[in-house]
């Protein structure tokens, strides 16, 4: 089997963290990347789910409520955690 070189760019921290995990798994970077590439071929696509973070119904409702409260001038606001804690008496 003929081999070839693959040059990629990534953040140093990402590389270092990945190498640490691969090392704990008994792998090196080359083996891990080859596993990814072979799995991509076998599955005919990226071997993990790619999706946008869409909030569930409860989270979406909470976000909307927060936006409504933030834009309501009649709702009391607090400029610090200390002021909020004092109002809550904690």
22-41 pLDDT, tens digit each = 999 999 999 999 999 999 99
**Is residue 2 situated within a structural domain?**
no
Tokens 């993990």, located at residue: 48
Distances (CA, A) of 15 to 23, 47, 67: 12, 20, 38
**Is residue 89 situated within a structural domain?**
no
Look up the domain containing 49 and give its range. Answer: 8-69
> How many structural domains does the chain have?
1
Please state the pTM of the whole predicted model.
Answer: 0.56
Tokens 């869409």, located at residue: 54
Query: Could you tell me if 66 and 60 are in contact, meaning their C-beta atoms sit under 8 angstroms apart?
Result: no
Please give the mean pLDDT across all residues of the chain. 93
């Amino acid at each position: 089997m003929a081999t070839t070189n693959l040059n990629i760019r990534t953040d140093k921290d990402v590389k270092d963290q990945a190498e640490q995990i691969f090392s704990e798994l008994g792998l090196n970077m080359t083996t891990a990347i080859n596993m990814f590439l072979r799995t991509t071929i076998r599955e005919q696509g990226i071997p993990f789910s790619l999706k946008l973070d869409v909030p569930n119904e409860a989270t979406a409702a909470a976000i909307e409520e927060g936006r409504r409260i933030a834009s309501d001038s009649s709702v009391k606001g607090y400029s610090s955690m200390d002021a909020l804690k004092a109002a809550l008496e904690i």
